[in-house]
Amino acid sequence: MTEFIHHIPALIIVIPLLWGFATPLIGRLSKKGMYAWVVTALAITEALTIAQIYLVLTQGTQVYVMGGATYNTTIPPDSGGIPVRIILTVDAFSAFMAFTAATVTLAGGIYSITSEEGTSGESMYYTLLLLMLSGMLGMVMTGDLFNFFVFLEINSLASAGLIAYRVGKGISVEAAFKYAIISSVGALIYLFGVGILYGEYDALNLAMVASRMQFTGLDKVVMALFTVALAMKAGSVPLHYWVPDAYGKAPGAISAILVTASQASLYALFRVCFSLFGLGSNTLTTGWFLISLGLLSMFVGVTMALIQTDIKRLMAYHAISQTGYMLLGVGVGLATLGTAAFSQYGLQAMEGGIFHIINHAMYKGLLFLTAGAVIYRLGTSDLNKMGGLAHNMKYTTVFFMIGALSIAGIPPFNGFASKLMIYESTYLFNPILSIIAIVVSVLTLASFVKVFHSAFMGPKLYDVKEVPKAMLVGMAILTSLIILFGLFPNIAIQYLVGPAAKALANQAAYISSVMGGA
């Protein structure tokens, strides 16, 4: 049994990959069998990520060498101190991100069992879904720069295919086209940076390159290429134009999972800023880069969301503005890295930002699922054509209210816990930051009140039934996590978020976990 435990990082990536490609075969046998097949795959991945979090908390960073003599000989004896193979380094932060991705995909998978029932090409849908999950998990857990590029491309291609899955008179194909173009351009610019780093330091492993980094002129070019390409993939404002198109036109559960896909790129942006360049680079500049991205994303995202009339496009703009919160929180942590202020409020700001990642994944996933439920019943996603759904879609209304209240940061729910941490630590760095953050949280509340009014309130215009059971189960999973993190933020901080923030801030530990042998 102990042997199996060491292979968990690899299993987490491989299970969705293999299980995904086997789905069409099972689909040919029996529809029910395929559903069970997909849900077991997602459930196993979820269980493995939870086991991985437990392992990382107890035994520290997990390292797994692909094809090495034993699972953790990062530096083979004859290689003269260079980690040769692809190494998965899973520290607390990446285990945390893997858990977020697996949970939302599990909820999305269960949700899409009924929402995609009887539609064309259903088995391919699940293959792409599992492929997307393995891409995300690979991006989050790999310690190798080029390997990250490969998983990034897997994820982008799979999600582009999924966005265009319901052609919908060509509009979702246009959205998928724009998404695919801009994400492949970003990935190529990232690959260009990887090439420069390989040319300079003759190594591809992130820890190896970080230990050899001398911050030459070329490294500044690489910093620019990496940070901008990954900021674009994470959906921050000056480069956010693909987000409303892609999330707005993706089928039901896919936009919920796309949120975690862009959060995996956000993880990569933080990993690059903290572990690759760390204290050598002028953390004030990179910190202020993240903070200004955060402020722009927050304000522009929410003001654009106020005037939208399409329900999913409105929620997509909110995904951008909530990403702004994470960038703001972690940006303040980065800006104060290494100074005395870091221990006073920098680490808490990072904890707030990272806690916001999982909170956002939960309630944004829930909101996209409720929007999918409304579209599943009404067929239209235009807010002006909806009305009075609360009369007979009771559960969806309650789920939507919980999601809307937690995204607006109303006390008992989880949005408030992480926003409180962000407000009360970033204002020490600069008071303007948290003033804008509080104003943006009310504007978020305003736009969700708009959706709540036009979709659910008002007289009964349509006699629609409640959505089928599986969709409700998918939403219930996310709601229970929202309420759990809302009422017990201390437990989430102590076990999930605290170690993740410390692991991210501590570059030396990351390098020594790979370079320092076992």
Count residues near other proteins (CB under 8 A): 118
Does 223 help bind other proteins (rule: CB under 8 A)?
A: yes
C-beta of 249: minimal distance to other proteins in Å? 7
Which residues fall within 8 angstroms of residue 155, CB to CB, at 6 or more apart?
132, 135, 136, 138, 139, 261, 264
Closest by CA to 177, choosing from 268, 127, 241, is 241
C-beta of 297: minimal distance to other proteins in Å? 13
User: CA 353, CA 346: separation in Å to the nearest integer?
Assistant: 11
Closest by CA to 437, choosing from 447, 449, 427, is 427
**Within 140-159, which residues bind other proteins (CB under 8 A)?**
146, 149-150, 153, 157
Considering only the stretches 21-29, 75-83, 321-329, 433-441, report the one whose residues sit in contact with other proteins under the rule CB under 8 A: 433-441
Does 173 help bind other proteins (rule: CB under 8 A)?
A: yes
Q: Count CB-CB contacts under 10 A for residue 202.
A: 11
Buried b (16+ CB within 10 A) or exposed e, 455-490: bbeeeeeeebebbeebbbebbebbbebbbebbeebe
Q: Which two tokens stand for residue 509?
A: 């530990």
Among 30, 40, 119, 282, binds other proteins (CB under 8 A): 282
Going from the C-alpha of 282 to that of each of 15, 210, 215, 278, the distances in angstroms are 40, 15, 10, 9
Strand partners, 90: 62
Closest by CA to 137, choosing from 109, 98, 81, is 98
Closer CB to other proteins, 45 or 323, in the complex: 323
Closer CB to other proteins, 28 or 460, in the complex: 460
Among 109, 248, 365, 372, binds other proteins (CB under 8 A): 248
Closer CB to other proteins, 109 or 244, in the complex: 244
Closer CB to other proteins, 337 or 467, in the complex: 337
C-beta of 48: minimal distance to other proteins in Å? 26
Does 40 help bind other proteins (rule: CB under 8 A)?
A: no
C-beta of 456: minimal distance to other proteins in Å? 8
User: x/- string (CB under 8 A) for other proteins, residues 319-358?
Assistant: -------------------------xx--x---x------
Does 178 help bind other proteins (rule: CB under 8 A)?
A: yes
Closer CB to other proteins, 111 or 165, in the complex: 165
Q: What is the phi/psi pair of residue 301, to 5°? A: -55, -45
3-state SS class at 62: strand
Among 486, 497, 499, 515, binds other proteins (CB under 8 A): 486
**Do 287 and 347 form a contact (C-beta atoms < 8 A)?**
no
User: CA 2, CA 359: separation in Å to the nearest integer?
Assistant: 33
User: CA 101, CA 358: separation in Å to the nearest integer?
Assistant: 9
C-beta of 323: minimal distance to other proteins in Å? 16
Closer CB to other proteins, 166 or 364, in the complex: 166
What single-letter DSSP state applies at residue 31?
H
Among 83, 278, 474, 489, binds other proteins (CB under 8 A): 489
**Do 112 and 253 form a contact (C-beta atoms < 8 A)?**
yes
C-beta of 437: minimal distance to other proteins in Å? 8
Q: Which two tokens stand for residue 259?
A: 């949120």
C-beta of 462: minimal distance to other proteins in Å? 10
C-beta of 313: minimal distance to other proteins in Å? 8
What is the C-alpha radius of gyration for the chain, rounded to an integer number of angstroms?
Answer: 22
Among 388, 474, 498, 499, binds other proteins (CB under 8 A): 388
Among 10, 124, 457, 476, binds other proteins (CB under 8 A): 457
Does 278 help bind other proteins (rule: CB under 8 A)?
A: no
Does 175 help bind other proteins (rule: CB under 8 A)?
A: yes
Closest by CA to 350, choosing from 266, 280, 264, is 266
Does 174 help bind other proteins (rule: CB under 8 A)?
A: yes
